[in-house]
Amino acid sequence: MNNQIISLEDIKKSYFIKDTEFSVLKGIDFDIKKGEFVALMGPSGSGKSTLLNIIGALDKPSSGKYHIQDRLVSDLSSDQLADIRNKYIGFIFQNFNLIPTLSSLENVALPSFYTEQENYDRAKELLSMVGLQDKFNNKPNELSGGQRQRVAIARSLINNPEFILADEPTGNLDSITGKEIMDLILSLNKKYGKTILMVTHDPHLAQLTHRVIYLKDGRITKEKSV
Amino acid sequence: MSSYKFLLKLFRLSWNSLRANIFRSFLTTLGIMIGTTTIIMVVALGEGAKKDIEAQYSNMSVTTILINAPSTAGEPSKLSVDDIPLVKTISTVADAVPMLTGKVNISNSDNVTNFSVVGTYFDFAKVANLDLVSGQFFTQDDEDNHNKVAILGATVAEELFGTRDPKVIGESVVLGKREFEIIGIAAYKGGAFGPITIDESVFTPYSSAYRYVLGKTGKFSFNVNATNVDVLDQTMDSLTSILRESHNLGPENADDFRLKDMGTTVASAQSSSQTMALLLGSVGFIVLLVGGIGIMNIMYVTVSERTKEIGIRKAIGAKDVHILTQFLFEAFILTLVGFVVGAVTSIAIYYLLLSMGLKIIFVWWSVLLSFAITFATGMFFGYSPAKKAASLDPIDALRYE
Within 13 Å and on the Cβ side, how many CA atoms surround A72?
Answer: 8
Section A182-203 average pLDDT: 93
CA distance B334 to B323: 17
Q: Which amino acid is at B98?
A: P
Burial label for A22, CB within 10 Å (0-12, 13-18, 19+), is: exposed
- Evaluated on CA atoms B71, B75, B81, B86, the torsion sign reads negative
In whole numbers, what is the pLDDT of chain B averaged over residues? 87
**Does A65 have pLDDT greater than 70?**
yes
Question: For the residues B134-149, what does the mean pLDDT come to?
Answer: 91
Max Cα–Cα distance, chain A, nearest Å: 56
Alpha-carbon dihedral sign for residues B268, B273, B277, B283: positive
Confidence of residue B74 (pLDDT cuts 50, 70, 90): low
Each residue of B224-255: b (16+ CB within 10 Å) or e? bbbeeeebbeebbebbeebbbebbebeeeeee
The reply to whether A120 touches chain B by the CB within 8 Å rule is no
Please say if the pLDDT value at position B55 is more than 90. no
Answer whether A161's CB lies under 8 Å from A128's CB. Answer: no
Distance CA B223, CA B83 (A): 12
The predicted pLDDT at position B284 comes to: 82
Q: Quick one: DSSP state of residue B79?
A: -
Q: What is the pLDDT of residue B312?
A: 95
- Return d(Cα B27, Cα B346) in angstroms, integer: 18
H or E element in which residue B151 lies: strand B149-152
* Interchain CB contact of B73 with A (< 8 Å): no
Q: Give the best residue of A60, A78, A157 to mutate against chain B (max B CB count within 10 A).
A: A78
Cβ count within 10 A of residue B296 = 21
Give backbone dihedrals phi and psi of B192, rounded to 5 degrees, phi first.
Answer: -110, 160
Residues sharing a CB contact under 8 Å with residue B213, sequence separation 6 or more, in sequence order: B102, B104, B117, B119, B175, B176, B178, B204
CB contacts, 8 Å: A100 with chain B = 309
Contact B188, B164 (CB under 8 A): yes
Under a CB-based contact definition with an 8 Å cutoff, are residues B209 and B172 in contact? Answer: no
Q: Which of A129-133, B60-64, B69-73, B135-139 has the lowest mean pLDDT?
A: B69-73
The reported pLDDT for the residue numbered B58 is: 65
Is the per-residue pLDDT at B401 higher than 80? no
pLDDT band at B63 (very low <50, low <70, confident <90, very high): confident
CA dist., res. B306 & res. B303, Å (int): 5
CB contact under 8 A, A86 and B395: no
- CATH number of the domain bearing residue A151: 3.40.50.300
Percent of chain A with pLDDT over 70: 99
Task: State the DSSP code for A142.
Answer: G
Among B188, B124, B116, B184, residue whose Cα is nearest residue B154: B188
Shortest distance between the Cα of B306 and any Cα of chain A, in A, equals 10
What is the percent of chain B with per-residue pLDDT over 90, rounded to a whole number? 36
B30 CB contacts (<8 Å, ≥6 apart)? B291, B294, B338
Q: Which of chain A's residues have a Cβ under 8 Å away from the Cβ of B17? A: 101
**What string of DSSP letters covers B171-183?**
-EEEETTEEEEEE
* Per-residue model confidence (pLDDT) at position B1: 47
Which residue among A93, A101, A111 places its CB closest to the CB of B317?
A111
Q: Average pLDDT for residues B335-350, to the nearest whole number?
A: 94
The length of chain B is 401
User: β-strands B112-120, B192-193: how paired?
Assistant: unpaired
Which parts of chain A are beta strand (E)?
Answer: 4-17, 20-33, 37-41, 63-68, 71-72, 89-92, 163-167, 195-199, 211-216, 219-225
Contacts of B260 (CB under 8 A, 6+ apart): B65, B66, B67, B68
**Residue B318 to residue A82, Cβ atoms within 8 A:** yes
Helix (H) or strand (E) holding B291: helix B262-305
Q: How far is it, in rounded angstroms, from Cα B136 to Cα B380?
A: 66
CB < 8 Å to A110, chain B: 313, 316
pLDDT at B192 over 80: no
Q: How many domains does one find in chain A?
A: 1
Half-sphere exposure of B164 (CA within 13 A, CB side): 13
Single out the residue of B282, B303, B301 nearest to residue B373, CA to CA: B282
Q: Residue A2: what pLDDT?
A: 62
Name every residue whose Cβ is closer than 8 Å to that of residue B190 and which is 6 or more positions away in sequence.
B55, B58, B199
- In this structure, what DSSP letter does residue B319 have? -
Put simply, whether B109 touches A (Cβ < 8 Å) is no
3-state SS class at B101: strand
| Averaged pLDDT for residues B172-188 | 91
Model confidence at B125: pLDDT above 90: no
Q: What angle do CA B386, B390, B395 make, to 5 degrees?
A: 140
The number of residues making up chain A comes to: 226
Nearest to A99 among B2, B3, B309 (CB): B309
Distances from the Cα of B391 to the Cαs of B229, B296, B311, B384, in angstroms? 66, 17, 10, 11
Q: Which domain holds residue A115?
A: 4-225
Give dist(CA A195, CA A32) in Å, integer: 8
With beta carbons under 8 A apart, name residues in chain B contacting A119.
Answer: none
Tens digits of residue pLDDT in B276-330 = 878 888 888 888 888 888 889 988 998 999 999 999 999 999 999 999 999 999 9
Quote the CA–CA distance of B204 and B142 in Å, as a whole number.
9
Among B313, B320, B322, beta carbon nearest to A78: B320
- Please check the confidence at residue A1 and state whether its pLDDT lies above 60: no
Q: B272 pLDDT band (50/70/90 cuts)?
A: confident
- Regarding predicted confidence, which is higher, B63 or B385? B385
Q: CA B105 to CA B255: how far, in whole Å? A: 34
pLDDT given at position B2: 58
Is A202 in contact with A169 (CB distance < 8 Å)? no
* Strands A37-41, A211-216: pairing kind: parallel
Contact A97 B315 (CB under 8 A): yes
Confidence of residue B219 (pLDDT cuts 50, 70, 90): confident
- Residue spans of the domains in chain B: they are 4-55+268-399, 70-256
This prediction has a pTM of 0.73
Laid out side by side, the sheet with A20-33 consists of A20-33, A4-17, A63-68, A71-72
Cβ-contact B157, B183 below 8 angstroms: no
Predicted confidence band of residue A159 (pLDDT cuts 50, 70, 90): very high
Chain A partners within 8 Å of B320 (Cβ): 78-79, 82
Picking from B2, B3, B317, the nearest residue to A85 by CB comes out as B317
CB contact under 8 A, B317 and A86: yes
Mean predicted confidence (pLDDT) in B36-60: 81
How far is residue A18 from each of residues A15, A61, A217, measured CA to CA in Å?
10, 19, 21
Instruction: Say whether B317 and A58 touch across the interface (CB within 8 A).
Output: no
pLDDT of residue A150: 95
Determine whether the interchain pair B395/A155 forms a contact, defined as Cβ–Cβ distance below 8 Å: no
Element (H, E) at B337: helix B320-355
Distance, CA of A94 to CA of B31 (rounded, Å): 43
- Residue B19 at interface with chain A, using a CB cutoff of 8 Å: no
Q: Give the 3-state secondary structure percentages of chain A, helix then strand then coil, rounded to 5.
A: 35, 30, 35
B395–A82 C-beta distance less than 8 A: no
DSSP secondary structure string, B18-29? HHHTHHHHHHHH
pLDDT, position B72: 64
